[in-house]
Amino acid sequence: MNVLSVINLLDSIIGVVIKPIIVVASLFIAITLTIGIICRSINIPVFGLEELILMSVIWLYMLGAVLASRERTHLSADFFQAFCKNKKVVKWVHLLANVISLVMAGLFISWAYALVSWGFQKGQVSPVFGIPMYLSQGGLFIASILLTFYLIRDLLNDVKDLMTMS
């Protein structure tokens, strides 16, 4: 079993796990926003709804970014291939972009880990429900790890493509 087949297996598992979470988070956000709007319009105070929505939105946004990276549907500025017709040069530029992105992703993992550890150390909690803030901050950390996983996958595929072109 080679590295790319292991990555494909992990990719399948990640897809099975995050897609339902994204659906549930989307439904939760839509329902709680609706409840909040209705309650405000009839002057019924609802406390803490915003902090639940914020935590859900963070996870939804981060897992949505992971899903976009998984399916290669995230925004990209691949304008280089529009004016360069040499396929090999375009592949080298993609490889360079992946290496730069991988370095940046490593920094994001480090920063997200520092944020989550700081939340643990300081014992930060949400104001109304007292939910530990590291639960929402963990979304940044998990997403940065998963995004790095997909960058490694893309890097390995670019290297494989370059080797088959030669």
* Distance from C-alpha of 5 to C-alpha of 126, rounded to nearest angstrom: 42
Neighbours of 22 (CB within 10 A): 15
Task: Quote the pTM value.
Answer: 0.89
Please give the pLDDT value at position 79.
75
pLDDT at 58 over 70: yes
Number of helices and strands in the chain (H, E):
5, 0
pLDDT at 141 over 80: yes
Distances (CA, A) of 35 to 44, 49, 53, 123: 10, 9, 11, 30
Mean pLDDT of 63-76: 88
With a pLDDT cut of 70, the percent of the chain lying above it is 98
Domain enclosing residue 75, as ranges = 3-165
Phi/psi for 76 (5° steps) reads: -150, 150
Average pLDDT of the chain, as a whole number: 92
Mean pLDDT of 138-158: 95
- Please count the structural domains in the chain: 1
pLDDT at 166 over 70: no
Phi/psi for 104 (5° steps) reads: -65, -40
Give the pLDDT confidence of 82-92 residue by residue, as tens digits.
788 888 888 89
| pLDDT bracket for residue 12 (50, 70, 90) | very high
